[in-house]
Amino acid sequence: MMRNAKTLGFLIALNLLVVYLIWGSTYLAIKLCVKELDPLIMCGIRFLLAGIILVIFLFIKKEKFPAKKQVAYAFLPSAFMMLGGTGAVAIAEQWVSSGLAAVAIAMTPLWACLITGLLKKKWPNYWEWIGISVGIIGIGLLNSDGQLRATFGGAFFLLLAPLCWAIGSIMLKNIEASISGMMSNALTMLWGGLLCLLVGLISGERFSVNFSIETFFSLWYLIVFGSLIGFSSYMYLFRNTRPALATSYSYVNPVIAVLLGLFLGNETMSLVGWFALSMAVIGVFFVIKGQNEFGGDY
């Protein structure tokens, strides 16, 4: 029993480290990709290839493919998380820095608290309300930052992305029990890849084979590390820990993303951006505190 507890603790710590570091670095990888690739086409290739690789792996392991009804259930969560969440981030990063995009995504747990209250009539406790209030201040500061004032599109998609990811996560949790963990990951990425490609093509985006070696390796980094490893680690935490711990990546990723953007991506962060980052971290801290003290489920 002790050995099992130690093993579980090690796996949780390992997956937390993976999500913290890898997902924090994906913002810069996305930024590098969208310099030469259309954002939704890039996301579609990323998720579709990752989903196909994972399905092949699961078939080799002789995992049972879910029923048609279960496959259909994965459609909406995939649309919100992969298209509305990650896809919106990729679109926004055409105009804003990877660090600023990561700060906006730190608002995800704040949206999750509000959505849970609306859907389940389970309203936030006082610590969570403090976190939400501080987070709203952070959102306001982000919208006053020079990068976002310069483009309506960047602001719009950075507000849309965490909202969609929060909705998709809540929906996915409700169907997780009916689909095995890894197969659920594969279905989410397959649906997400197809939707990103479809919407990208409809909106006028096009495939391109004329891109640099930097873009090529950045895309494969997103496929292997960001999707196959990172998303699988996130879903492991989602299934085996409290939601507060599983979503704690959202206040670590911005710090990683900002530092990588500054040192490797030649990006800059204004004083307003730094203050917004601190508000995001503080806001999510209070949400986590409320989850730990009162329990909760989002």
How many independent structural domains does the chain possess? Answer: 1
Q: What are the structure tokens assigned to 57, written together?
A: 């792996």
Please write the tens of the pLDDT for every residue from 144-203: 655 555 577 777 888 889 889 888 877 876 665 556 667 888 899 999 999 999 999 999
Residue 10 in any domain: the answer is: no
State yes or no: pLDDT of 276 exceeds 90.
Answer: no
Residue 182 in any domain: the answer is: yes
Please write the tens of the pLDDT for every residue from 33-86: 999 999 999 999 999 999 999 999 988 888 877 778 878 888 999 999 999 999
* Nearest Cα residue to 104 out of 128, 120, 86: 86
pLDDT given for residue 297 in this prediction:
47
Residue 128 in any domain: the answer is: yes
pLDDT given for residue 216 in this prediction:
94
* Nearest Cα residue to 108 out of 278, 238, 231, 281: 281
Domain containing residue 290: 20-294
Residue 162 in any domain: the answer is: yes
Q: What are the structure tokens assigned to 88, written together?
A: 């919106």
Q: Stretch 103-128: mean pLDDT, rounded? A: 73
pLDDT given for residue 149 in this prediction:
57
* Nearest Cα residue to 231 out of 158, 169, 144, 290: 169
End-to-end Cα spacing for the chain: 29
Q: Stretch 14-33: mean pLDDT, rounded? A: 90
**Other Cβ atoms closer than 10 A to 177:** 9
Query: What amino acid occupies position 109?
Result: P
Across the chain, what does the average pLDDT equal? 81
Residue 246 in any domain: the answer is: yes
Residue 199 in any domain: the answer is: yes
* Nearest Cα residue to 287 out of 116, 51, 72: 116
State yes or no: pLDDT of 121 exceeds 60.
Answer: yes
Calculate what percentage of the chain has a pLDDT beyond 70.
Answer: 82
Buried b / exposed e over 43-79, threshold 16 CB at 10 Å, is bbbbbbbbbebbbeebeeeeeeebeeebeebbbebbb
Distance CA 45, CA 207 (A): 10
Residue 181 in any domain: the answer is: yes
Q: Could you tell me if 181 and 66 are in contact, meaning their C-beta atoms sit under 8 angstroms apart? A: no
Distance CA 255, CA 159 (A): 19
Q: Could you tell me if 189 and 51 are in contact, meaning their C-beta atoms sit under 8 angstroms apart? A: yes
Q: Stretch 94-106: mean pLDDT, rounded? A: 80
Residue 4 in any domain: the answer is: no
Q: Could you tell me if 77 and 231 are in contact, meaning their C-beta atoms sit under 8 angstroms apart? A: no
CA angle 92/117/245 to nearest 5° reads: 65
Query: What amino acid occupies position 279?
Result: M
C-alpha distances out from residue 195 to 48, 76, 95, 192, Å: 10, 10, 23, 5
